[in-house]
Structure 1
Amino acid sequence: MRRQEEQLVGALFDVLETEGHDEARKRLLRAYESSASEGRDELIERLITELVAVLNEQLGRREGAVVLTDAIQFLFDRLVSVVEVAPVAIVVVDAEGAVQLWNDGAERLFGWTESDALGGRLVSKEADASGPFGDSLSRLERGERLTGVETRHPHRDGSLVEIRFWAAPLRDRHDDFAGATYVAADVGERKRREQRLTVLNRVLRHNIRNDVNVVLGHLEALAAERPDDDPHVAAMERRLAEIVDLSDAARRAERLQESDGEASRTTFDLSALARDRVREFDTAVGDAAFTVGGPDAVEAVAHELLPFALDNLLENAVEHCGPSPRVRVAVREEGDRALLTVADDGPGLPAHEREVLTRSDETQLTHSTGMGIWLVRWIVRSSGGELRVGESEAGGTAITVVLRR
């Protein structure tokens, strides 16, 4: 209840000032200043006690009741404003599942007006309920909170709406179950868009791989009649390899979308991961110098595709450096965060690549030459982490992945 008590104290301060009760407000300010060094709970308790004394002693019972009523009305109006302006459906039901509050967002989502919905049964209290919200009310009564549950709910026009809902129980002053608050959002269009993209992605990847295999077969036949160091053959082979890499990146992006969330996260030893991936690159890129620094073991929670993000950062560092790139990978701890930095001595990350890492969307002015940098961003974001881009000690680029330890 501390949060609600704190809001009430703040509202009373505002009402006392608005209605010209300067002496009462000054007394409360003195109480606040004298208790400012105390803990939050102790401070609120002290202010509540002082408020009761001020309302009784300085304003009198009648005027104190008016001030208290105005403060409650102020909080109520603010709550109503938030509920009505919310772009999602907000519904409050009683202990039996009957609707007590139905905002404009609920009317837009489900089609029924407030007058249609109030008093009607939204959800059943039965443990084996089979409606759109299932047994959620009985689960809430047991003290559960529901987060991001997807289901289908009938619209007034007879269609089914794809929704995702969140719900929390309400308790009365005796701590008995008094109902629940449901918040729901339409996810139908998002799911349809994701489905279309998934199908398109798979079809394109399948066709690209088939076409590349055909072209490679013809290229091998032609290459047999050309010198071993023919630059035209080498250029075509390089381009075809890049197309295959792009197809692989699209597959990983699709996998990332399908497995987004806490369940797809795992614990990595960043130090061991850095040493392993650098060893692979050191073998594959003979003219690059790699070093790894930091503690022997630093654990962090990240999406299961984190190794691919690190591979892309290493590849990007080598690609944008000179003929003999120097790349340093450093792992460190910073409070409750684990940091992995890939730094190079190149001319710096191109502006369009830097924008991909620092912006949340791609526009005509912020596009990458490939999917690698975008894949890094998506993986880190799905890991609950963040990216930092700066200048390395060698004058090149330093990209840091910040993760939860």
Structure 2
Amino acid sequence: MLATVGGVNVTLGILLLLIAAHTRRQYSGVGTQSFIACMVGLGVWTAAGGVNDIISVYELGAPNGDGMSPAVESTPSIIAFGLQGPRIADWVLQTVVPVLYALFILAYTTRTDRRERLLLFVLVPFGLLYTGGSMSATLVSLVLDNLPGGLSEALLPFLQFAISISFFVTGSIVLLSLGQLWRTLHRYQHVSTRLTLGLAVIVPPVWFAERFFIALAETPLARAAIPVPFVILSTCAAWLAVTRFGLFEEIPAALAVARQDIVAEMPDAAITVTDGHAILDWNAAAADLFEREFNTVVGQDLATILPDTFDIKRLLAGGQTTCRLPGSDRVLEASSSRITDSDDRTLGHTLIFRDITDSRQNARRAEVLSRVLRHNIRNRADVATAHLRQFTDSPTPDTADKIATTVEEELSALRDLGRTAREIESVLQADKRTGNRSVEELIRHAIEEVQHAEVVNDGHEYAGGVSSVPVVIDTPPAETRANGEILIPVIRELVSNAVEHGGSAPEPHVSVRVKETSDTEGVDRWWIDVADSGAGISNHEVEVFEDAEEQPLQHGKGLGLWLVWWGVDRLGGEVSFDIDRGTTVTVELPGSLLSYE
């Protein structure tokens, strides 16, 4: 009867080897090599156990299935050890096969690198020390008995300790492999449940039967028979997985690699939802965009993170839509794609959210620049052309001088317009922050670039020329991290505008004052007020500017105020106007850009 059980095990081992051969002929790609290695290992393990059972029947092994028979013990040690080959193979493969199984599971369900594979193989020597049951007796009889008594007694506790450790290691490998399978089934719903269950019973039941159930058997026949049904289950599961369940057609590793290499690293926010709109996964960009950690939203309805006005049905139907984030000026463009199975059933959706705030702003700025430039160039060119035509009427010398002056002014204005356009481009491309720089030094630098402006200290009487406008600076001894390539043009344009509008007052003056509010953590906000005593900026200019988006019939006089608006916006600030008594333009900036010396 024991020989029959051994023959069944040998047959099952051959079938497993045939499955490995079939896989090698028919398939290639992710996981195939490790699956073949696992099948070969499992087949040899099963066949070795069957051969060992047959040997014990013919009394080449001990009558009780442990150790060696007297006939074998009387032979030389080398020959005796050779006759134990099937038993040794059984012992070695009890550790190697779980490692091969773990390698296959890792390769099949996720990406593995050399470090992970090396770690598993480093565990093999520890597992090989796990002998258990009859192999312990074999080691003692073949190794320890041939050593000096003291050395044998010293090695025995070490071997027992190593057996316990390696048993734990091998068992952990099996359990971790099952855990990875469960994680894959839970994470990727398109993966077949029957395929996952089939993979779960290829190695673990056989290993547990060999390690636990055999210990309950009292006879060699029982010990040989216990693993048989588990090996049959393993063989059937392996065959069905390869030929019926699409083992190498539904490869979860493809999704894992796609997530790691595409979704996880893409700059756009990506969210995966079920067909019922429950959030399954999202990448780092989505966490940053919606300012929510993944573990706080997984399983929640998609609507919980989107504004109420967002058309989710239209998006999931394949349409493209836009929305504005609640409490923010950021505009998102969203698109979706279906996740389907082999029968084209919808399992979920992948949503891509792209922040188009910058692109929209750039498009709007380009439109404004184009409109203002066309308007001003056309008007000034028309004025210059009209004056030049007056030369055909034989003008008087005085009239000719006026015509020449007007034409020169118009051409100069066009040059200034081009300079401002180029400066706007530089401002929009400049970094927001640089090294610390004195706020007063930066303001003085800006004022020096303004014609007819002269800096005076607050509280001192102005004694400058009649053609100059005094500019009072009042600023604390602070430094700013705001980029001077942005802030200097902004202040210069505001001071220039103040000098232009305030210069006609009986006692013209302009002031530039810096103030801030602080809390326990430092500066909260800070302001730069540029005020003049003139008639003020026209309401038309302020309306155009505060609207921040020119309409076709609205045109400012130039690009200076647009440079101010876009420059301050680039620094994360805001601009406001007070035109009741003169004009006061307030630039509000983040406190993080200001620090004290």
TM-score normalized by the length of structure 2:
0.33
Q: Which structure's residues are more often helix, by fraction?
A: 2
TM-score normalized by the length of structure 1:
0.47
